[in-house]
A and B are shown apart, each in its own frame.
Chain A
Amino acid sequence: MARYLLGRFAGILIVFFIVSVVVFLLMHAIPGGPYNEDKVPLSPEAKANYMRKYGLDRPLVEQYVLYMGNALRGDFGVPFQSPTETVTGLIARTWPVSASLGFAALLVAIPLGLLLGIIAATRQNTWLDYAASATSTLGLTVPNFVVAVWLVLLFAVQLKWLPTGGWGEWYHYIMPVVALALAPMALTARYTRTSILEVSRSDFIRTARAKGLSGRQIMTRHTLRNALIPLITVLGPQIPNLITGTIFIESIFRVPGLGKFFVTSILGRDYPMIMALLLLVAVVWSVVYLITDILYTIVDPRVRLGKSKS
Chain B
Amino acid sequence: MRRTHAPSFTRNALWLTLLLLVALLIQACAPAGPAAPAAEQGAAPEAAAPGEPVKNALGKELPADAAPLDQQVLVFPYSGWKTFTTVDFFQAVYERADALSDILSDSLVRLDKDFQPNPGAATEWSVDDSGLVWTFKLDPNLMWNDGTPVTADDYVATFQYGADPAHAWDFSWYYQGVIKNWTQSVNGEVTPQEIGVRAVDANTLEFTTETPAPFLPAMLVYSNTMQKRALEEHGGFYNSDPATSVSAGPYKLVEWTKDQRLVYEINEQYKGTNIPYIQRLVVTNIGQPSQLLPAYEANEIDFVNGGGTLSPADFEIIAADPALNEQYHPHYGDFRTYYFAFDNTQPPFDNPLVREAFAHVLDRDAITANILKRQGIPAYSFLAPGFPASNSAAFAETWPLDVEKAKQLLAEAGYPDGEGFPKLTLKLRSEGPAPTAVAQAYASALKDTLGIDVEVTNMDFKAYMDEMNAKPTQMQFTLISYGMDYLDPSNMLGVFLSGGRHPWSNADYDALVKEASAFLGDPGERTQMFQDAEKILVDDAAFVFAYHQTPGDMIKPYLKGPSLEPDANGVAAWHWPGFSSFSDLLSGVYISNDVSDYRQAPN
Q: Are A157 and B294 in contact (CB under 8 A)?
A: yes
Is A217 an interface residue when CB atoms closer than 8 A count as contact? no
Q: Are A163 and B298 in contact (CB under 8 A)?
A: yes
Q: Determine, out of A123-131, A179-187, A278-286, A292-300, the stretch whose residues face the partner at the interface.
A: A123-131
Q: Are B294 and A152 in contact (CB under 8 A)?
A: yes
Given contacts A32-B465, A94-B259, contact A149 B290 (CB under 8 A): yes
**B residues less than 8 Å from A167 (CB atoms):** 260
CA distance A165 to B260 in the complex (A): 11
Contact partner, B85, options A83, A155, A160, Cβ 8 Å: A83
Is B587 an interface residue when CB atoms closer than 8 A count as contact? no
Q: Determine, out of B22-30, B41-49, B196-204, the stretch whose residues face the partner at the interface.
A: B22-30
CA distance A147 to B300 in the complex (A): 21
Interface of A is mostly: loop
Is B423 an interface residue when CB atoms closer than 8 A count as contact? no
**Whole-angstrom distance between the Cβ of A299 and the nearest chain B Cβ:** 23
Q: Are B170 and A254 in contact (CB under 8 A)?
A: no
Of residues 1 through 48 on chain A, the ones whose CB sits less than 8 Å from some CB of chain B are 30-33, 35-43, 45-46
**A residues less than 8 Å from B32 (CB atoms):** 156, 160-163
Q: Are A32 and B295 in contact (CB under 8 A)?
A: no
Contact partner, B463, options A30, A38, A49, Cβ 8 Å: A30
**Whole-angstrom distance between the Cβ of A46 and the nearest chain B Cβ:** 6
Q: Are A93 and B258 in contact (CB under 8 A)?
A: yes
Of residues 80 through 131 on chain A, the ones whose CB sits less than 8 Å from some CB of chain B are 81-85, 93-94, 122-124, 126, 128
B469, closest chain A residue (CB): A41
Q: Determine, out of A63-71, A132-140, A227-235, A245-253, the stretch whose residues face the partner at the interface.
A: A245-253
**B residues less than 8 Å from A222 (CB atoms):** none
**A residues less than 8 Å from B482 (CB atoms):** 39
Q: Are A161 and B237 in contact (CB under 8 A)?
A: no
Q: Are B81 and A264 in contact (CB under 8 A)?
A: yes
Is B187 an interface residue when CB atoms closer than 8 A count as contact? yes
Q: Are A163 and B300 in contact (CB under 8 A)?
A: yes
Is A50 an interface residue when CB atoms closer than 8 A count as contact? yes
Q: Are A254 and B80 in contact (CB under 8 A)?
A: yes
Interface string of A148-159 (1 = CB under 8 A from B): 010011011101
**Whole-angstrom distance between the Cβ of B160 and the nearest chain A Cβ:** 15
Q: Are A38 and B6 in contact (CB under 8 A)?
A: no
**B residues less than 8 Å from A122 (CB atoms):** 1, 3-4
Of residues 89 through 126 on chain B, the ones whose CB sits less than 8 Å from some CB of chain A are 94-95
**A residues less than 8 Å from B463 (CB atoms):** 30-32
Q: Are B30 and A254 in contact (CB under 8 A)?
A: no
Given contacts A45-B188, A122-B3, A164-B294, contact A84 B85 (CB under 8 A): yes
Q: Determine, out of B280-288, B338-346, B506-514, the stretch whose residues face the partner at the interface.
A: B280-288
Is A174 an interface residue when CB atoms closer than 8 A count as contact? yes
Q: Are A46 and B168 in contact (CB under 8 A)?
A: yes
Q: Count residues on chain B whose CB falls below 8 Å from chain A CBs.
A: 66
Q: Are B501 and A267 in contact (CB under 8 A)?
A: no
Is B600 an interface residue when CB atoms closer than 8 A count as contact? no
Is A144 an interface residue when CB atoms closer than 8 A count as contact? no
Q: Are B80 and A251 in contact (CB under 8 A)?
A: yes
Q: Are A84 and B298 in contact (CB under 8 A)?
A: no
CA distance A49 to B185 in the complex (A): 11
CA distance A200 to B85 in the complex (A): 59
**A residues less than 8 Å from B501 (CB atoms):** 40-41
Q: Are A251 and B465 in contact (CB under 8 A)?
A: no
Given contacts A46-B186, A260-B80, A264-B83, contact A163 B291 (CB under 8 A): no
CA distance A251 to B187 in the complex (A): 40
Q: Are A123 and B6 in contact (CB under 8 A)?
A: yes
Contact partner, A43, options B83, B176, B260, Cβ 8 Å: B176
CA distance A170 to B290 in the complex (A): 24
Contact partner, B298, options A39, A43, A81, A156, Cβ 8 Å: A156
Q: Are B285 and A267 in contact (CB under 8 A)?
A: no
Q: Are A126 and B291 in contact (CB under 8 A)?
A: no
Q: Are A256 and B259 in contact (CB under 8 A)?
A: yes
Q: Are A256 and B85 in contact (CB under 8 A)?
A: no
User: Which residues of B does A touch, CB under 8 Å?
Assistant: 1-4, 6-7, 23, 26-27, 29-30, 32-34, 80-83, 85, 94-95, 165-168, 170, 172-173, 176, 183, 186-188, 237, 240-241, 257-260, 284-288, 290-291, 294-295, 297-298, 300, 460-463, 465-469, 482, 485, 495, 500-501
User: Which residues of A does B touch, CB under 8 Å?
Assistant: 30-33, 35-43, 45-46, 49-50, 52-53, 79, 81-85, 93-94, 122-124, 126, 128, 149, 152-153, 155-157, 159-171, 174, 200, 215, 250-256, 260-261, 263-264, 267, 269
Question: Can you list 10 A-B pairs, Cβ within 8 angstroms, ordered by A?
Answer: A31-B462, A39-B482, A53-B166, A122-B3, A157-B294, A165-B295, A251-B287, A254-B260, A256-B259, A267-B460
Known: A40-B495, A164-B294, A261-B83. 18 other contacts (CB 8 A): A32-B462, A32-B463, A39-B485, A43-B173, A43-B186, A49-B166, A84-B241, A93-B258, A122-B4, A126-B6, A128-B7, A165-B291, A165-B295, A166-B260, A166-B284, A260-B80, A260-B81, A267-B462
What 5 A-B pairs have minimum CB-CB distances, sorted nearest first? A32-B462, A256-B259, A171-B30, A31-B466, A49-B168
